[in-house]
Structure 1
């Protein structure tokens, strides 16, 4: 009985401390516009697909830019990989993975809402020939995490647009 009382007191203290510091769960951003068009992305772009998915249910994603309140234009949407370190025999030991995205937001009439924003994420990946399959899967996962980061950054910027 005493132990239960101590645990209840500790839980109440922790809850009041969290409430007192202003802690609250992150809520999805609200956008100052009701519709958006995504243009300039390559057909089948994973970044465009993730943006559509993230915006779905919050704003309407239009196919025709003239029908949208905001036009998000991709200027650069590229994934790159290069050898960062090799052995004396020429075998790759470390890869550098880069995700580059540059976007801008305008009204359909051409008024700039957000100047071009360049997002560049770089990660290093050690590799060996013995674990090629596992490293290929790890590379895909790293690109997926970088893309999630880019999408989150873009969503925050879209939520702050002066529409």
Structure 2
């Protein structure tokens, strides 16, 4: 019986090694933090905003981008136009009480450069999660709601970072047309 177990574990080890080699060969790699194309950025979030705090922390960890205390000297300006959280009744039980809710987290923002030229038009990101509700589990459901909003906030930060990273990438790939001097007609 021990010989059989040895051959099974050896086979598993070999298959694991082959699968790992195949993953490496296909170019698979974990998504790292987004590299922002800006040297400096100014965020218009309120200082007490949890989303702004998490976004600042992620920008600092992403590379060489400095977060400026004011718009002066910033290469990019991220303007928050709206940030809302909403809780909507999704379903009702037989007594007419809410039994399921849909949680929404919406952020609308735009990005401008130092000359106030719009780099990213106003963009709305909407995240949603559903949560069941039971009156007998009031405290645990409110704690679950807080955790879901925190999870959506983390997802929101990652989506904003991906959009910021794509701004200059898209501009850099567009061909630049050299300016041609126009000679006045004689």
TM-score by length of 1: 0.88
Q: 2:74 aligns with which of 29, 47, 68?
A: 68
The size of the alignment, in residue pairs, is 162
Partners of 1:74 and 1:61 in 2: how far apart? 15
**Cα deviation, residue 5, structure 1:** 5.3
Structure 2: 5+ residue stretches without partners: 172-186
Partner of residue 92, structure 1: 98
The change in CA–CA distance for 1:85 and 1:15 in structure 2 (over 3 A counts) is: closer
**Matched-pair contact (CA < 8 Å) for 2:47–2:53:** no
C-alpha RMSD over aligned residues: 2.1
Q: 1:47 aligns with which of 34, 48, 51?
A: 51
**Cα deviation, residue 94, structure 1:** 1.7
Larger Rg: 2
**Cα deviation, residue 46, structure 1:** 1.7
**Cα deviation, residue 108, structure 1:** 2.3
Q: What whole-Å deviation, never above 9, does each CA across 1:121-152 have from its counterpart, x for those lacking one? A: 12221101110100001101111111111111
The change in CA–CA distance for 1:10 and 1:66 in structure 2 (over 3 A counts) is: same
